[in-house]
Amino acid sequence: MTADRPPPGTNEITYREAVKQAIRDAMIRDPRVFLMGEDVGRYGGCYAVSKGLLEEFGPERIRDTPLSESTFTGAGIGAALGGMRPIVEIMTVNFSLLALDQIVNNAATLLHMSGGLFNVPLVIRMATGAGRQLAAQHSHSLEGWYAHVPGLKVLAPATIEDARGMLWPALEDPDPVLIFEHVMLYNDTGPLPDRRPVDITKAAVRRPGKDVTIITYGGMLPKTLAAADMLAADGIAAEVIDLRVLRPLDEETVIASVRRTRRAVIVDEGWRSGSLSAEISARIMEQAFWDLDAPVGRVCSAEVPMPYPRHLEQAALPQPDGIVAAARATLGPR
């Protein structure tokens, strides 16, 4: 019995196991689906997501690759152009920088550059975020960079249900989809999700409220929900929106919520300058300025390379207390 599989009779599963089940089910469902990346086979994946899949599906469909992100991402693009449905795993988001040319200059542009003739039905999964003391080179939150690029769809599953249900719709998409899995979510445990696909076009209201809208995604969702609990203890009802889809943004859900609550705070693990939080703030100002009763607040990581010592790492990351303070600031004296 592995740590990821709950004992018989329980209805709990980890985020890690939910991702694994999604991959396994997709491979059973469609023989064109295969997984490729560094250490996905014999090692079972850097975060143990693919453990056991090599034994079940064999080396043709669970393919260990050399340590060359540009090469195997390019191979994934070629396989997608050839009619396959590859899942490319890039170990961590910082390693994806070695494949930027393939992702941004090829996968994202080939449909346009070919005059609509060639789709690239490629899924790229990668771990993102900080919190495990992996220091400055392995703690990035760069999903906002990719959300800047036309031609890509960018997903950030924050719940076990989304980790389980987003993969198949992503594989069905005719264009490249990037899925960012936060490193601090892999051990999260929750109820077994249904096997139905998840809508990868819409944000989700994770908690209704009337006093302030708090907008977040990915690994910041648990902290934001904890902050909402703290606010509720003081009689403040925060509405929590999980973006889920970073490109294209579900503006309709965000703007509708802000117009109801008249206040907004954005929680983004990325750095503040040039961040996804800045883009969301700008869109709120463009579309709901006259509905606001306070300036839009933002809670982001400190603008430093991520420290290694745990106390400094935690100080650099958004925390519930900071989210509560930002929400209170939009409400003024009470």
Catalytic residue list: 69, 138
Identify whether the C-beta of residue 76 lies closer than 8 Å to the C-beta of residue 88.
yes
Amino acid at 3: A
Identify whether the C-beta of residue 170 lies closer than 8 Å to the C-beta of residue 177.
yes
> Mind giving me the DSSP string for 33-94?
EEEEETTSSSS--TTSTTTTHHHHH-TTTEEE--S-HHHHHHHHHHHHHTT-EEEEEEEEGG
Distance CA 320, CA 326 (A): 10
Residue recorded with tokens 């935690």: 314
Angle of helix 276-288 relative to helix 251-261, nearest 10 degrees? 60
Distance CA 104, CA 151 (A): 8
Distance CA 204, CA 136 (A): 31
> Mind giving me the DSSP string for 251-309?
HHHHHHHHHHHS-EEEEEEEESTT-HHHHHHHHHHHHHGGG-SSPPEEEEE-SSPPPSS
Sequence-ordered list of residues with C-beta below 8 angstroms from that of 156, at least 6 positions apart, any chain: 128, 143, 179, 180, 182, 217, 218, 243, 244, 245, 246
